Amino acid sequence: MSDNDALIPEAGTGPAAQPAPVRQGMWGKGSGDTSGYNGLRRSVEWPAAAVAPYGSWFDDALGRLSQLVADPFSTVVVDHGELTVYVARERIVEVMQALRDDAYLRFEFCASVSGVHYPDEIGSELHVVYHLQSMTHNRRIRIETSCPDADPHVPSIIATYPTVDWHERETWDMFGIIFDGHPHLTRILMPDDWVGHPQRKDYPLGGIPIEFKGTVVPPVDSRRSY
Amino acid sequence: MGIEDKVPQGVVLTTLEGLFGWMRQASFWPATFGLACCAIEMMTYGAPRFDAGRWGQEVFRASPRQADLMIISGRVSQKMAPVLRQVYDQMPNPKWVMAMGVCASSGGMFNNYAIVQGGDHLVPVDIYVPGCPPRPDMLIDAMWKLKKGIVAKRPIGQNEIDFQDAAEAAALVAPATHEMKGLLR
Amino acid sequence: MKETTDFYASSSEGVAEGAVYTAMGGGDWADIAAEQAERGDETLVINMGPQHPSTHGVLRLMVEVDGETVTSIRPGIGFLHTGIEKNMEYRSWTQGTTFVTRMDYVAPLFNEAAYCLAVERLLDIEDKIPQRASDIRVLMMELCRIASHLVAIGTGGMEIGALTVMTIGFREREMILDFFEAVTGLRMNHAYIRPGGVANDLPETGIAQLRDLINWLEKHLPEYAAFCNENPIFKGRMCGIGYQDLSACFALGVTGPILRSTGYGWDLRKQQPYCGYETYDFNVITWDTSDAYGRFRVRLDEMWESLKIVKQCADRLEASTGEPVMIDDPKIAWPAQLAVGPDGQGNSHEHIKHIMGESMEALIHHFKLVTEGFRVPAGQAYVPIESPKGELACHVVSDGGTHPFRVHMRDPGFNHLQSVPIQCEGGMLADIVVAIGSLDPVMGGVDR
């Protein structure tokens, strides 16, 4: 993304009270561009927080979770038939344990852990998204937690789901999120002595200009984008 | 070291060169250096339909000590780069390198932090094969161009020493690969 | 830079110091060796890979052996990390297909399918994909499954010395790749499944070629069973090796043939169907020994089930000839219609005539879709599919723009390699190769 993309954070609604960023157009701002894109304002609308009842099996499952863990989640989003539950990082270990062990929930399989970096969400820039699957009940749930850039710590759930070993290492490697309690949080995809966390939005894509006969095309992250 | 070192430069050496070159290209064994998708096409190159065994090349040597050719087949990541160099260093002379696919030639479609933009940043490449991945037919064509055009013509004896000295002298003054810019103008 | 003496280097003139510098500098090797020296026992520390003929790609294994028994094994990955996920954040949604297809390069169509299904879920067009497109997707995926299992069985066999299994495996695979080439234009890394449908329809001779392919496979697939199933060396090498039971599979996130070899019939095509799999008639193959031999038998029988599905697809596609293969929405459907012309593959003459001469809107849509791409509403989606290796899923986050905000592919190999210690420790050195072969990791997917 190029620096021309100015995003004006506003207090907005939406999950985890994140600001609704606004995109401004690419060209213009005194550059002489007359295409009209300069005046383009497009706001990003994240899926709104759902209100109970959520539908399908979601209410029963979340009700059961609330019985087992005090105040387990802050927001719930139901979008495209998928349930996303926002859990504070202090609660994540308890919640995961309850999700796995309780017979009504029985999410015995953690499919994946991914990090997402939202640079505009001041105070909770780094999100960790856990996808759990219950084979007993044939259901899937997404648990999302976040931590600020200034304090990128999230408790590790490796004691509940051993499979997240390498997933958490990858999320540390790519985003810089430190999983407290992970026995060996080291780099896994990048060389051991690499500096920086590549998949963060403030890390450049890196790359070299592409040379053609008579012209040079800049690498992808320096080209203009829409 | 061998008989070719004692033969003075001249007609006899040139004839011997032809013989050595023919033998080298006839028994041209690659090291297993399959990295990514191109490795699968390299495997089909050795498989029945495209059959590199027709010219004695189905023996991919696992040990670089026994190999003449390193086919860099696939994208070279930053973590793999030192390994590539070490395997290249472990190959005895004379050795050749083929950059198979666009990732090995120039970084391919991955113009980013993780991929070395071309095997030639690490090792001297003798022939580049474009394609993503190149068909085994393209690999056969490139292999024969390499064999007949380059391997068969490799000098021996005193000629080889001169050849190596000239190559070293050229390499010492040449700019690094990442500094070579504007060559297409 | 660590200096080592190369015993093969000539000690006469021409070599400057008589030594060879190794660029690795030992890496962490010095630490590993020092750690073992401290313990002072008879354990040998061996480094397998990343350049190794039997580690299924660039996988590094740090193995500690006591005699022939493996006491500790640690896989090291990342040697093929390509930054695919970050690269996709700078390309349009359709271009994401070309990146994602190079992850698991042995079964490329599955990566494309997982990604496109996730994007279609975000676009809310899951039920608007034409039936013919879904049928073609199933056909291509099942053929890809057969091809991937052939590679798994072939390379697994080669690694234990059964070279013929590899040669016949690749022979069958070539016939499948011929069909792929006829339909998509490429043997591998097709970028064929696009958000909205598939890139182009089957060629006119497609169904006939498909029927020939089915006949060929029916004739030749029994050879694998004949070669391997009761072969005493095969069984000796594979029975009881790489044991991993059901609870270990769940704890370590293992799916696919490995999970099914424990006896648990979990197959996402049946449990959480996509692309119309619920309308096809096929069985889920399980075995009960939880070892490498069980996984081999599961893969072998899955090839037959896939062939069953392919036959059903052939009938359906023959019946639905002429129907569209791309969604009917001009704001999303990939506009280009490719054909092979005098200078290679490019837009077909009819398509160019249409956009240049007949319809301004078509030209505008073509231009905007190819340069800018379509916009995907903000949100996130996670779509899992049953790839030949296991559960392959795509977690995609959109911020409403023309580029993905974040794409994370959940690759089965990444999870399965975590099982290497549990399968290999306590076994013999030679069994490591068999165990990893039965896990069938593809390093492109593991490292992305």
pLDDT digits (tens, 9 = 90+) for C427-439: 898 899 999 999 9
A226 to C121: CB separation less than 8 angstroms, yes or no: no
Judged by CB atoms within 8 Å, which residues 37-96 of A form the interface with C? 42, 44-47, 79-80, 82, 84
Q: From the list A23, A108, A114, which residue is nearest C395 (CB)?
A: A114
pLDDT at A15: 54
Q: Map out the domains of chain B as residue ranges.
A: 28-151
Query: How does DSSP classify residue C428?
Result: B
A87: Cα separation from own chain's centroid: 13
pLDDT digits (tens, 9 = 90+) for C341-370: 787 777 888 888 888 888 898 898 888 888
C85 to A199: CB separation less than 8 angstroms, yes or no: yes
Tens-level pLDDT at each residue, chain A (226 residues): 444 444 444 444 445 556 667 666 555 455 555 555 556 667 788 888 888 788 788 888 888 888 888 888 888 999 888 999 999 999 899 999 999 998 888 999 999 999 999 988 888 899 999 999 999 999 999 999 999 999 999 999 999 999 999 999 999 999 999 999 999 999 999 988 899 999 999 998 888 888 877 778 888 877 765 5
Establish whether the linkage from the previous residue to C330 is cis, with ω within 30° of 0: no
pLDDT at A16: 54
Angle at A130 between CA A127 and CA A133, to 5 degrees: 160
| Residues paired with C380 in a beta bridge | C397
Nearest-CA neighbor of A84 among A145, A138, A126, A7?
A145
In the predicted structure, residue C401 carries a pLDDT above the cut 90: no
| Residues paired with C156 in a beta bridge | none
Report residue B5 as tokens. 């070192």
**Given its phi and psi angles, is residue A219 left (phi above 0), alpha (psi -120 to 50 degrees) or beta?**
beta
Taking the C-alpha atoms of residue C393 and residue C146, their distance in angstroms, rounded to an integer, is 20
Q: What is the mean pLDDT of residues C38-61?
A: 81
Instruction: List chain A residues with CB under 8 Å of B111.
Output: 205, 207-208, 210, 219-220
Topology (CATH level 3) of domain A47-206: Beta Polymerase; domain 2 (3.30.460)
Best interface-test mutation with B: which of A174, A190, A195, A200 has the largest number of B CBs within 10 A?
A190
What's the Cα-to-Cα distance from C346 to each of A212, C94, C144, C247, C350, rounded to whole Å?
22, 17, 25, 52, 11
Phi, psi angle pair for A23, to nearest 5°: -95, 135
pLDDT at C16: 40
Angle at A14 between CA A8 and CA A19, to 5 degrees: 20
In the predicted structure, residue C2 carries a pLDDT above the cut 70: no
Mutual angle of helices C429-439 and C131-159, in 10-degree steps: 170
B182 to A211: CB separation less than 8 angstroms, yes or no: yes
CATH class of B28-151: alpha beta
C393 to A112: CB separation less than 8 angstroms, yes or no: yes
- Please, which pLDDT band fits residue C88 given cuts at 50, 70 and 90? very high
Report residue B149 as tokens. 């055009």
Segment among C134-138, C338-342, C426-430 with least mean pLDDT: C338-342
* Residues 6 or more apart in contact with residue B182 via CB below 8 angstroms: A211
Query: How does DSSP classify residue C200?
Result: S
Report residue A25 as tokens. 């157009």
Phi, psi angle pair for B176, to nearest 5°: -65, 155
| A190 and chain C in contact, CB less than 8 A | yes
Query: How does DSSP classify residue C191?
Result: -
First to last CA, chain C: 29
In the predicted structure, residue C133 carries a pLDDT above the cut 90: yes
Query: How does DSSP classify residue A96?
Result: H
Instruction: List chain B residues with CB under 8 Å of A190.
Output: 78-79, 114
Segment among C10-19, C20-29, C229-238, C306-315 with least mean pLDDT: C10-19
- Kindly tell me the burial class for residue A28, based on how many C-beta atoms sit within 10 Å of its own C-beta (0-12, 13-18, 19 or more): middle
C80 to B85: CB separation less than 8 angstroms, yes or no: no
- Name all chains with 3 or more CB-CB pairs below 8 Å to chain B: A, C
pLDDT digits (tens, 9 = 90+) for B16-27: 888 888 888 888
- Please, which pLDDT band fits residue C160 given cuts at 50, 70 and 90? confident
Chain mean pLDDT for chain C: 87
pLDDT at A5: 40
B105: Cα separation from own chain's centroid: 12
C251 to A79: CB separation less than 8 angstroms, yes or no: no
Report helix, strand or coil for A44.
coil
Torsion of CA B178, A199, C77, C114, to 10 degrees: -110
pLDDT digits (tens, 9 = 90+) for C248-279: 999 999 999 999 999 999 999 999 999 999 99
pLDDT at C24: 40
Domain limits, CATH 1.10.645.10, in chain C: 88-332+374-447
Q: From the list C378, C415, C447, which residue is nearest A163 (CB)?
A: C415
A187 to C78: CB separation less than 8 angstroms, yes or no: yes
Side-chain-facing half-sphere of A112: CA atoms under 13 Å: 22
| A210 and chain C in contact, CB less than 8 A | no
Instruction: List chain B residues with CB under 8 Å of C82.
Output: 36, 75, 77, 110, 112, 114-115
pLDDT at C3: 47
Q: From the list C50, C82, C189, which residue is nearest B115 (CB)?
A: C82
pLDDT digits (tens, 9 = 90+) for C8-39: 444 443 434 333 333 344 556 677 767 777 77
pLDDT at A36: 57
First to last CA, chain A: 9
B133 to C188: CB separation less than 8 angstroms, yes or no: yes
ipTM over 0.85: yes
Q: What is the mean pLDDT of residues C113-132?
A: 93
Nearest-CA neighbor of A134 among A143, A122, A125, A126?
A143
Nearest CA in chain B to C166: B47
Nearest CA in chain B to C11: B1
Report residue A155 as tokens. 């408790």
Report residue C177 as tokens. 């790749």
Nearest-CA neighbor of C114 among C377, C396, C402?
C396
Q: Which H or E run contains C66?
A: strand C60-66
Quote the radius of gyration of chain B (alpha carbons, Å): 17
pLDDT digits (tens, 9 = 90+) for B112-145: 999 999 888 999 999 999 998 899 999 999 999 9
Q: How many inter-chain contacts (A to B, CB under 8 Å) are there? A: 39
Nearest-CA neighbor of A191 among B115, C52, C33?
B115
Query: How does DSSP classify residue C341?
Result: E
B112 to A191: CB separation less than 8 angstroms, yes or no: no
A191 to chain B, closest Cα gap in Å: 5
Q: What is the mean pLDDT of residues B50-75?
A: 89
Instruction: List chain B residues with CB under 8 Å of C57.
Output: 34-36, 39
A198 to B182: CB separation less than 8 angstroms, yes or no: no
A165 to C418: CB separation less than 8 angstroms, yes or no: yes
Topology (CATH level 3) of domain C88-332+374-447: Cytochrome-c3 Hydrogenase; chain B (1.10.645)
Q: Map out the domains of chain A as residue ranges.
A: 1-46, 47-206
- Name all chains with 3 or more CB-CB pairs below 8 Å to chain A: B, C
Report residue B9 as tokens. 């430069």
Segment among C12-16, C101-105, C374-378, C418-422 with least mean pLDDT: C12-16
Best interface-test mutation with A: which of C406, C409, C411, C446 has the largest number of A CBs within 10 A?
C406
Side-chain-facing half-sphere of C321: CA atoms under 13 Å: 11
First to last CA, chain B: 45
Q: How much helix, strand and coil, in percent to the nearest 5, is found in chain A?
A: 20, 25, 55
C220: Cα separation from own chain's centroid: 23
Report helix, strand or coil for C120.
helix
